[in-house]
Amino acid sequence: MHPLSRNDSSKPWDFDELIDRSGTFSVKYDLRRMLFGTDDVLPLWVADMDFRTPPFIMDALRRRAEHEVMGYTVRSEAYHLALMDWVGRRHGWAVEKDWILFSPGVVPALSMLVMAFTRPGEKVIVQPPVYSPFFSVVKENGREVVDNPLCWDGECYRMDLDQLRRVIDPQTRMIFICNPHNPVGRAWGAEELRALAEVCLERGVLMVSDEIHCDLVLPGHRHVPLASLSEEIAARTITCMAPSKTFNLAGLATSHVIISDKGLRETFHQTLERVHVWLGNIFGAVAAEAAYTGGEDWLREMLDYVQGNIDFLADFLQNNIPQIRMIRPEATYMAWLDCRALGLDDAGLKDFFIKKARLGLNDGPSFGLGGSGFQRINLACPRSIVEEAAKRLKEGVNNI
Ligand SMILES: Cc1ncc(COP(=O)(O)O)c(C=O)c1O
């Protein structure tokens, strides 16, 4: 057993357990040298978890594997019902089966949505600092990114709707909304979303709501699906969801695009058929069904554990490294660290984290405007790892 392990085998799951992921072709571990120039960093970057994928999902996968025939397979009725039930029960949104389309990932879905609903040269709005593929899927398809940066009111990040009105022009077709928002951790409220949708409806901007983090709202907060707010909003909204972040299934490449409007759905379906990815994979479907059927207890306990990690690190920073301030997330297992008081420029900050603190985090500027002076840390890992990260950070700061 790992020396830092607090493994307790009497529990069906143990978030303290340390699992060696190196050598499994894990992006988070095995691409460290490529990304940070060294393997000697604690990897707290890409958004997957160091927790075991839950046992009820692994059991379902094993059962399916035992059949030993892996031919072309479609998603079952039970898969659709489990998803509809989950979204209805947890988020109060009544989704119909016909509205659900498959995508091998949310980022591929965003890219296909750009292809389906915009033409080369047209514009897509993003609200930085935000998940970096929001920029790349627009640019790589030959469309133009328009920034509507979030604003910080001293307490909280907010969407700037006056600025949004100003940046929309006749070439603007679409907006990517990150709900909840990675990396700042906002779980947008109904009123904020309604106000945003009002501008988009008034100006004919199609709303794409990336809700991949919707199940990761932390205790005391709630997710509001944008399309659940009204039929009028739903008719101009495309929602992306997935079990991948929630249940640590990113390697199974399975997500859902939910579109209530028939015309929008048919247009997107044509793009899906053109790129021939609608079939998906057997294990992704089996895992998603198991997750949405039996995932509630595990998810609640996992989120409580992550909240404990967030509280630990926030307190540690406040008491030991006041130059680094955590913007406490309302959702997601990532925290946005304001490091501006360290007085380093962006290259210096990046260097500090890699060489002095020996931590592999996501660099703030990769999230676009508003990212300078920040780093994003992934806290979906055993507490002992967070403690080790805190210790390394303190030693690093003492060494600046
Ligand atoms: C907002 C957001 N969308 C999409 C993704 C990735 O989606 P996928 O792996 O399904 O392409 C992430 C991963 O971190 C994310 O934060």
Atom of ligand 1 nearest to the CA of 244: 10
Section 205-217 average pLDDT:
98
User: CA-to-CA distance for 4 and 7, rounded, in angstroms?
Assistant: 9
Query: What percent of the chain stands above pLDDT 70?
Result: 98
175-201 tens-digit pLDDT: 999 999 999 999 999 999 999 999 999
Range 384-388, long-range pairs (CB < 8 A, 24+ positions): 384/4, 384/5, 384/6, 384/16, 384/18, 385/4, 385/18, 385/42, 385/44, 385/50, 386/309, 386/312, 386/313, 387/312, 388/4, 388/42
pLDDT of residue 11: 72
- CA 261 – ligand 1 centroid, Å: 24
Pocket (CB within 6 angstroms of ligand 1): 47, 105-107, 131, 178, 182, 210, 212, 242, 244, 250, 255
Section 154-183 average pLDDT:
97
Residue identifier of the C-alpha nearest atom 14 of ligand 1: 47
pLDDT of residue 289: 98
Atom of ligand 1 nearest to the CA of 47: 14
- According to DSSP, the β-strands at 237-241 and 151-152 are unpaired
Q: What angle do CA 303, 183, 176 make, to 5 degrees?
A: 110
Q: What pTM, to 2 d.p., does this model score?
A: 0.96
Test site for ligand 1: of 245, 248, 376, most ligand atoms within 8 A of the Cβ: 245
pLDDT at 237 over 60: yes
User: CA-to-CA distance for 141 and 255, rounded, in angstroms?
Assistant: 21
Atom of ligand 1 nearest to the CA of 109: 11
Starting at the edge strand that comes first in sequence, how are the strands of the sheet with 172-178 ordered?
100-103, 255-258, 237-241, 206-210, 172-178, 123-126, 144-147
Section 344-354 average pLDDT:
98
pLDDT at 2 over 70: no
Name the band, by pLDDT with cuts 50, 70 and 90, for residue 9: low
Strands (DSSP E) along 90-171, which ranges? 100-103, 123-126, 144-147, 151-152, 157-158
Section 137-148 average pLDDT:
98
pLDDT at 151 over 90: yes
Atom of ligand 1 nearest to the CA of 130: 1
pLDDT of residue 229: 98
User: CA-to-CA distance for 95 and 238, rounded, in angstroms?
Assistant: 12
Q: Can you tell me which residue has the tokens 């609903």?
A: 117
Name the band, by pLDDT with cuts 50, 70 and 90, for residue 278: confident
Domains in the chain, CATH or no CATH each: 27-54+296-398 (3.90.1150.10), 68-294 (3.40.640.10)
pLDDT of residue 25: 94
Residue identifier of the C-alpha nearest atom 13 of ligand 1: 47
pLDDT of residue 4: 41
pLDDT of residue 96: 98
29-85 tens-digit pLDDT: 999 999 999 999 999 999 999 999 999 999 999 999 999 999 999 999 999 999 999
Query: What percent of the chain stands above pLDDT 90?
Result: 94
